[in-house]
C-alpha cells in the first residue's frame, strides 16, 4: 500500500459478520514462542457474503515482519472482533487520521454508505512514500484532504492544522493515529466545543480485559478523580474529552 505498509485479506466469515468500525483482531504471529504476545490490528474492511476481512499493517517489529512473510493459503490464529466501535455518524463527521490510524476511519466510511456524503476525511502521513493509495483502502466518494509532514505531497504540515476550517455547527470528530496527533485533535475539539471520539492504539497483551496491560488514565468527573480504563474492552473508542492525554 505504501513503503512498509501492507494489506492482508483473511477468510473469516464469523469475524466478517460481527465486525464494526474500530473493532480489532488480536493476531498470533509467532511460529514458536517469539513474539509471545498477540498483536492487535484494526479491521480495514469486510465482505460478509464472501466471508473475508482485511487488515492493514505497518511492518515495525517481529510480529508485523512475520505477517509480511505469510503466504496465500496459510492459516493465522485470530481473536476477534474485539473492543468498542465508532457510533454511527452525526450530521457532519470529521474523520482525522494519521499513519495506520486510517484503518478504523476507512472501515467506518465503508460501513456507512448512506451517511458518507456528510463525512470528510483529513489524513496525514509523514511523507509521500508513506502515503497509501487511498482509492484502494477508502471509498472513492469519500471527501478527502491530505497532508504530509514534509510537504512532499499535498498540504505541507500536520493534518491537525486543517481541522478548524472544516468544522461545522454539528460536527463530531472521530480520530485515530499517533498519540500526540490525537491529543492535539482532542485539544482543538474541546476549544471548538465539538464532540470527539478517539480510537486508541495503546500497547496490549491479552486483548480481552484480563491482564490490565493496556490502561489509559481518564477524568472521572463524578468522583472528581482520575481513574483507569482498559483500552481493549472499554476502548479502543473512547470519549476524547475524558482522557488524560
Ligand X SMILES: Cc1cc2nc3c(=O)[nH]c(=O)nc-3n(C[C@H](O)[C@H](O)[C@H](O)COP(=O)(O)OP(=O)(O)OC[C@H]3O[C@@H](n4cnc5c(N)ncnc54)[C@H](O)[C@@H]3O)c2cc1C
Burial class (CB in 10 A: 0-12, 13-18, 19+), 146: middle
Residue 58 binding partner per list ligand FES, ligand X, none, with a CB distance cut-off of 5 to 8 Å that depends on partner kind = ligand X
Which residue, 64 or 148, has its beta carbon nearer to ligand X?
64
User: Considering the complex, what minimum distance in angstroms separates the CB of residue 206 from ligand FES?
Assistant: 4
**Interface region with ligand FES, contact rule CB under 6 A, candidates 16-24, 82-90, 96-104, 205-213:** 205-213
Which residue, 22 or 94, has its beta carbon nearer to ligand FES?
22
- Residues between 210 and 229 with contacts to ligand FES, criterion CB under 6 A: 210-214
**Interface region with ligand FES, contact rule CB under 6 A, candidates 61-69, 120-128, 134-142, 202-210:** 202-210
202 binds ligand X (CB under 6 A): yes
The span from the CA of 81 to the CA of 15, in Å, is 6
4 binds ligand X (CB under 6 A): no
Query: Binding residue for ligand FES (CB under 6 A) from 232, 238, 240, 243?
Result: 232
223 binds ligand X (CB under 6 A): no
Query: Binding residue for ligand X (CB under 6 A) from 10, 16, 19, 103?
Result: 103
57 binds ligand X (CB under 6 A): yes
Which residue, 184 or 230, has its beta carbon nearer to ligand FES?
230
What residue ranges bind ligand FES (CB under 6 A)?
204-207, 209-214, 230, 232
Amino acid at each position: 500500500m505504501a513503503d512498509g505498509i501492507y494489506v492482508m485479506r483473511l477468510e473469516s466469515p464469523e469475524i466478517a459478520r460481527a465486525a464494526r468500525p474500530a473493532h480489532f483482531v488480536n493476531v498470533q504471529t509467532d511460529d514458536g514462542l517469539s513474539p509471545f504476545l498477540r498483536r492487535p490490528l484494526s479491521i480495514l474492511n469486510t465482505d460478509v457474503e464472501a466471508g473475508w476481512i482485511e487488515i492493514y499493517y505497518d511492518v515495525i517489529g517481529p510480529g508485523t515482519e512475520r505477517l509480511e512473510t505469510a503466504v496465500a493459503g496459510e492459516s493465522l490464529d485470530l481473536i476477534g472482533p474485539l473492543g468498542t466501535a465508532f457510533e454511527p455518524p452525526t450530521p457532519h463527521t470529521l474523520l482525522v487520521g494519521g499513519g495506520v490510524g486510517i484503518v478504523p476511519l476507512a472501515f467506518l466510511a465503508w460501513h456507512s454508505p448512506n451517511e458518507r456524503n456528510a463525512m470528510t476525511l483529513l489524513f496525514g502521513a509523514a511523507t509521500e512514500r508513506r502515503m497509501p493509495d487511498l482509492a484502494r483502502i477508502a471509498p472513492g466518494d469519500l471527501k478527502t484532504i491530505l497532508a504530509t509532514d514534509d510537504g512532499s505531497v499535498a498540504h505541507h504540515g500536520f493534518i491537525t492544522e486543517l481541522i478548524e476550517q472544516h468544522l461545522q455547527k454539528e460536527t463530531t470528530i472521530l480520530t485515530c493515529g499517533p498519540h500526540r496527533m490525537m491529543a492535539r485533535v482532542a485539544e482543538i475539539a474541546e476549544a471548538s466545543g465539538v464532540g470527539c471520539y478517539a480510537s486508541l492504539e495503546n500497547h496490549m497483551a491479552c486483548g480481552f480485559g484480563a491482564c490490565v496491560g493496556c490502561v489509559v488514565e481518564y477524568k472521572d468527573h463524578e468522583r472528581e478523580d482520575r481513574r483507569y480504563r482498559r483500552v481493549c474492552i472499554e476502548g479502543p473508542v473512547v470519549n476524547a474529552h475524558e482522557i488524560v492525554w
